[in-house]
Amino acid sequence: MIDEILDKKELSSEDLVTLLKLDKKEDLEKLRIRSYRTMADNVGELVYIRGLIEFSNYCTRDCLYCGIRKSNSKVKRYILTKDEILESAMWSAEKGYGSIVLQSGERSDESFVSFVEDIIYEIKEKTKSDLLPNGVGITVCIGELSYQQYQRIFNAGAHRYLLRIETSNPDLFRKIHPENQKIETRIECLEMLHQIGFHIGTGVMIGLPEQTFEDLAADIQFFKKYDCDMIGMGPYIINLDTPMEYWKDYYFENQKNIYSLSLKMIAVTRLYLKDVNIASTTALQAIYPWGREQGLLYGANVIMPSVTPRNYRKDYLLYDGKPCTEEFAGDCLNCVLSRVHSINREVGLNSWGDAKHYIKKKELNSIS
């Protein structure tokens, strides 16, 4: 039956659920091989790298699963200076990263947004070179903003925006967020980002308590419905300071399944969406040391090594056991190169590495 499903041109909701439920070794290998081939045929085998700058851990939100949520008083808060951000961005460009991600806790106050806007202008200007005539590609991930604020970020030169929904199931969303955080607002934000012309990224957590296979299948369909270009999904990993006590037992009892389900989500998302960029997230490595390589073997084509200055890394812990908090950016670069080479793939250096899905849309728009 699995071969029949894998041969289909269009996968139904039931097919997605069946694939996510696979647990026999030989079936998983068939899924992995088909997903890898779909990736190679649609986006190629190069792995694109994004230098991740976690530039501030101040957050106005209170997601119950997150280590840096505003009510976690144990967190030492920081915000990098413009010079520190610029230094990390320029280091990334010099090493051939091609793209960076500016990520922080969520804030929409004017002083913060104009700080981000200014730094984008500056990074774009200072990272121009023969190899990158338009500077590094910039992805911003700072949360829910107004239309005008998104437009300013876009005008400053960032062309990608990452806004995770964590789950497309409204009931589940309500269980993992405080009442004032609404999935409807996140969807409105994705629509605004679309209108403005961003390369849009979203993602979900995999293996949440009470999450079903049907929920995950619906998440994959959500990515298609909202025409997303890049997907960043990761296993749900407990933060020990969560107010949700029962989640801790759940997590430790289900860790192995959560890991395997995360790889299946990458594979099934690749089969369903084909030409998008999919990240193999660091969270996979938090559960299994070779998790990021496995993600790449299941159809992911992007990796996001941290270029956050080392002395701030341990204060940006969204979940417990986050790897790479003691390393310098140079260590992460060497580590990523050797990990990618170990699975016989190459890194796409000095390239923005935009998703083919986005490039096709842009070409279509310029024709019409």
Binding footprint of ligand SF4 on the chain (CB under 6 A) = 59, 61, 63, 66, 68-69, 105-106, 143, 318
**Helix crossing, 183-196 with 147-156: angle to 10°?**
40
H/E stretch holding 213 reads: helix 213-225
Kindly report the number of other CB atoms within 10 A of residue 180's CB atom.
8
DSSP 105: S
Q: Which is nearer to ligand SF4, 162 or 217 (CB)?
A: 162
DSSP code of residue 166: B
Q: Between 165 and 318, whose beta carbon lies closer to ligand SF4?
A: 318
The smaller minimum CB distance to ligand SF4, of residues 69 and 264, is found at 69
Apex 355 CA angle, 353 and 361, nearest 5: 130
Helix (H) or strand (E) holding 34: helix 25-43
288 within 8 A of 259, measured Cβ to Cβ: yes
Nearer of residues 143 and 323 to ligand SF4, judged by Cβ: 143
Considering the complex, what minimum distance in angstroms separates the CB of residue 316 from ligand SF4?
9
Closest to ligand SF4 by CB, 178 vs 330, is 178
Rounded Cα–Cα distance for residues 64 and 84 (Å): 30
- Min dist. Cβ of residue 283 to ligand SF4 (A): 13
What residues contact 104, with CB distance under 8 A and at least 6 apart?
Answer: 54, 55, 56, 57, 58, 59, 79, 141, 142
Closest contact distance (angstroms) between CB of 327 and ligand SF4 is 22
The H-assigned helical ranges of 228-355 are 245-273, 282-287, 291-297, 310-313, 329-342
User: Residues near 365 by Cβ (< 8 Å), separated by ≥ 6?
Assistant: none
The minimum distance between CB 176 and ligand SF4, in angstroms, equals 10
Closest contact distance (angstroms) between CB of 60 and ligand SF4 is: 7
Nearest distance from C-beta of residue 43 to ligand SF4, angstroms = 28
How far apart CA 93 and CA 328 sit, in angstroms, is 16
User: Residue 307 Cβ, how far from ligand SF4 at the closest point, in Å?
Assistant: 19
With respect to ligand SF4, which residue has the nearer C-beta, 163 or 297? Answer: 163
Closer Cβ to ligand SF4, 105 or 291, answer by number: 105
